[in-house]
Amino acid sequence: MDIQPAETRSLLDSRERHFRIPSDRAGLSLFLRYLAATTPLGAGVSRKAVLYVHGGTFPSALSIAHRFDFHSWRDALCAAGYDVWALDFHGFGILSDRYPEMAEPAERHPPLGRTEDASRQVEVAARFIAGRYGVSERISIIAHSWGTMAVGHFAGRCPELVDRLVFFAPITWRHSTASAPRLPAWKLVTLQDQWDRFTADTPKGEPPVLLERHFHEWGERYLDCDPESRMRTPPAVRVPLGPFQDIYDAWAGRLAYDPGLIRAPVGIIRGEWDSMCTDADGRWLFDALASSPLKRDVKLSRGGHLMHLEEGRYALYRETLTFLEGTDSVPEPAVSESSNPET
């Protein structure tokens, strides 16, 4: 069902629409935000839809839809003719329902929001988008960090729904003989935790890639994601720990999906300083995508794991659009009626 704008007025673009859709989990709902393309469609041109899937600590409002200096990644996609959708997983943001276990002590339950569970949430969103707006059965998806694991799992199960995939800063398999730590259901994430993540990949001596004034604005909106965040000392947002458990497991040699099952074109885009998606990680994933008919591995300079919020974000926007447009090969010349194919 549509959500009335008054419920989330501080987060709304004047053109944005919000939807709450039934989850695959009985009694729970998922949240989708939607912004239509700003470029008029030409005659006979079909609508293009792209779905954004966030990573493990903050929702779509703080990633693809967040505006630094009045411009967001979503704005760039809409200007290029895309209808942009974004999913918030259970437990992220204020409009996708939380797991009921998040109201209980974290130690009582295993990590919430694992890859297989999140994969089903992606499927629910993809089928809703295709059905409601009459786009082609296949949609393109942009996924960040741990979100690439959920999307990879979904794409392997539902290849008929997937057009193209952009894996931005993906988490991949790593060889290790060490055991992964076992985590509880959820944890609290403070603004200091996020600032440390935002600055961790920038080498010493290099100028910052994120301005403090940008982080201050972003941080206030991050705290808005949890109605109880400012009641805690220090203020902190409660997030499911399934994504972190999946990451630790992947780095201990157990990736939660098989990249070889993906049959769609895949563009890997990553920053040169990203410690969570290194050259070795990108190379492993590129090779593991054995069934993908078209692959790219693009490394952007001066970028970390959160490049969509850094000064290099415009390069990320451009590379994403280039891959989504699908102009990867020279078109076949038209054959005129007078030509003889046998000569």
- pLDDT of residue 2 exceeding 80, the answer is no
Q: How many domains does one find in the chain?
A: 1
Confidence class for position 177, pLDDT limits 50, 70, 90? confident
Structural domain includes residue 79? yes
Q: What is the pLDDT of residue 46?
A: 67
First to last CA, the chain: 60
* Residue 340 or residue 282, greater confidence: 282
In a domain, 296, yes or no: yes
The pLDDT assigned to 136 comes to 55
For residue range 106-165, what is the model confidence (pLDDT) as tens digits?
A: 999 999 999 999 999 999 999 999 887 665 568 999 999 999 999 999 999 999 999 999
Over residues 289-296, the mean pLDDT reads 97
Residue matched to tokens 């694992």: 114
Query: What is the reported pLDDT for 11?
Result: 42
- Position 225 in a domain: no
Mean pLDDT, rounded, for 192-217? 94
| Burial class of 169 by CB neighbour count within 10 A (0 to 12, 13 to 18, 19+) | buried
Residues 52-86: tens digit of each pLDDT: 999 999 999 999 999 998 999 999 999 999 999 99
User: Please, what is the average pLDDT of the chain?
Assistant: 90
Label residues 50-79 b or e (16+ Cβ within 10 Å = b).
bbbbbbbbbbbbbbbbbebeeebbbbbbbe
DSSP state of 303: -
pLDDT of residue 10: 37
pLDDT for the residue 240: 98
What was the pLDDT predicted at 98? 97
CATH, residue 127:
3.40.50.1820
pLDDT at 13: 61
Q: What is the mean pLDDT of residues 228-240?
A: 97
pLDDT at residue number 1: 47
Please report which confidence band the pLDDT of residue 40 belongs to, taking 50, 70 and 90 as the band edges.
confident
Asked, for residue 291, whether it belongs to a domain, the answer is yes
* 118 falls within a domain: yes
Q: Are 296 and 249 in contact (CB under 8 A)?
A: no
237-266 pLDDT, tens digit each: 999 999 999 999 999 999 999 999 999 999
* Residue 309 placed within a domain: yes
Question: Is residue 111, in this structure, part of any structural domain at all?
Answer: yes
Q: Is the pTM of this model over 0.85?
A: yes
Is position 38 within any domain? Answer: yes
pLDDT at 6 over 50: no
Question: Residue 250 and residue 228: Cα distance in Å, rounded?
Answer: 32
In which domain, by residue range, is 84 found?
Answer: 5-186+242-325
